[in-house]
Amino acid sequence: MSDKIGGETVKYEVKDHIATITLNRPEKRNAINRPMRKEIEQAFKDVKYNDDVWVAIITGNGPVFCAGKDLLEPRKEEDGIVMSNDQVYEFHRNIYKPFICALNGPCYAQGGGFALNSDVIIMAENASLGWPQVMRGISSVSGPVMAAKNMPWQTAMAHMLRAKPIPAEVCHQFGMCNEIVTIDELMPSALRWAEEINGCAPLAVRAIKEAARRGWDMNYREQVYLARDIADRVLHSADAKEGIDAFREKRQPVWKGE
């Protein structure tokens, strides 16, 4: 099944249970303005609520993944019609379907939030993560909240306090990305990861992510009880029965996401 949703600033397609979200404002280095934020919100909601989507890939069109927020867009008070930047972060983080971020180039500021809220990050050789806000006289949300928790403190601060981008090889060194590839290999690699994930039972995959995300700030005892409750829920699914039957019959399982 293939389903395309047209958008001026975001391309969105679902095929073979894989949703592909492409930031599509290359003339502005994929800087996020209000219309783009709305289309990202719509894409994220489809990933979350569309039963045909089992895994999502987010990438960018052009040489830059995302330049962050469009600083030249006239400021407007949040009106609830479009999610705020922070609400988009929170919504993205609490989608329990896996996200793969394919960084086609430099990724700055808010773009870094999309990357670090993903579960797998693949970087092209020229890609980097950066939070340049201090050079503009402003601060950041995704940098202090996410980057500072995803790498050693001194390394994160050394880059953010000087507005220095973090090269792909440094990201890989500290476990912030899973793979570095050539730009030609980027999307094939992302699709390979997605297909490998989709080779596993989708409800079980979501349960693993849900238990890990929701248990992130819990103490050990709370985490155990939460993870057990989620695991028991999946244990009674049709896919759980199929998985055991396929193991017994020595065949490949056929998942239905039920």
Q: How would residue 212 be classed by pLDDT, with cut points 50, 70 and 90?
A: very high
How many structural domains compose the chain? Answer: 2
pLDDT in tens, 197-207: 999 999 999 99
Calpha distance 167→131 (Å, rounded):
12
Position 6 scores a pLDDT of: 61
- Name residues whose C-beta falls within 8 Å of residue 241's C-beta, 6 or more positions apart in sequence: none
Per the structure block, which two tokens stand in for 61? 């069109």
Q: How would you classify residue 136: left for phi > 0, otherwise alpha for psi between -120 and 50, otherwise beta?
A: alpha
Residue 53's Cα: distance from chain center in Å? 14
Strand order of the β-sheet with 106-108 is: 106-108, 128-130, 166-167
Residue 18 has pLDDT above 90, yes or no: yes
Closest residue by Cα to residue 7 from 45, 36, 31, 41? 36
Average pLDDT rounded to a whole number, residues 49-56? 97
CA dihedral over 125, 28, 121, 51, signed as positive or negative: negative
Q: Which two tokens stand for residue 214?
A: 């929701």
17 is a domain residue: yes
Q: Which of 198, 214, 241 is the last residue of a domain?
A: 198
- Kindly tell me the burial class for residue 135, based on how many C-beta atoms sit within 10 Å of its own C-beta (0-12, 13-18, 19 or more): exposed
> Reduced to 3 states, what is the DSSP secondary structure of residue 22?
strand
Q: Are residues 159 and 235 in the same domain?
A: no
Mean pLDDT, range 183-189, rounded to an integer: 98
Q: What is the pLDDT of residues 137-177, one digit of tens each?
A: 999 999 999 999 999 999 999 999 999 999 999 999 999 99
Task: Give one DSSP letter per residue of 70-134, joined into a string.
Answer: -TTSPP----SSS--HHHHHHHHHT--S-EEEEE-SEEETHHHHHHHTSSEEEEETT-EEE--GG
The Cα 169–Cα 160 span in angstroms is 17
pLDDT value at residue 4: 60
- 2-9 average pLDDT score: 70
Average pLDDT, rounded, for the chain: 94
Q: Which two tokens stand for residue 98?
A: 């896996």
Is residue 45 in some structural domain?
Answer: yes
Boundaries of domain holding 72: 2-198
User: pLDDT digit string (tens) for 80-131?
Assistant: 789 999 999 999 999 999 999 999 999 999 999 999 999 999 999 999 999 9
User: What are the φ and ψ backbone dihedral angles of 173, each rounded to 5 degrees?
Assistant: -60, -40
Q: Give pLDDT, residue 168.
A: 97
In this prediction, residue 79 carries a pLDDT of 78
* pLDDT of res. 52: 97
The pLDDT value recorded for residue 76 is: 75
Strand partners, 129: 107, 166
Please give the pLDDT value at position 5: 65
DSSP summary character for residue 55: E
Q: pLDDT at position 218, please?
A: 94
The answer to whether position 255 is within a domain reads no
Percentage of the chain exceeding pLDDT 90: 91
Is the pLDDT at 2 greater than 50? The verdict is no
Beta bridge partners of 108: 130
Maximum separation of any 2 CA atoms in the chain, in Å: 63
Predicted TM-score of the model (pTM): 0.94
Query: In this predicted structure, what is the pLDDT of residue 80?
Result: 79
* Same domain, yes or no: 216 and 180: no
Asked if residue 225 belongs to a domain, the reply is yes
Please report the pLDDT score of residue 215 as a whole number.
95
Q: Which CATH number fits the domain that encloses residue 17?
A: 3.90.226.10
3-state secondary structure of 185: helix
Q: Are residues 164 and 74 located together in one domain of the fold?
A: yes
Residues with Cβ within 8 Å of residue 92, at least 6 apart in sequence:
44, 99, 113, 114, 117
pLDDT for position 78? 73
Within this chain, do residues 46 and 117 fall inside the same structural domain, yes or no? Answer: yes
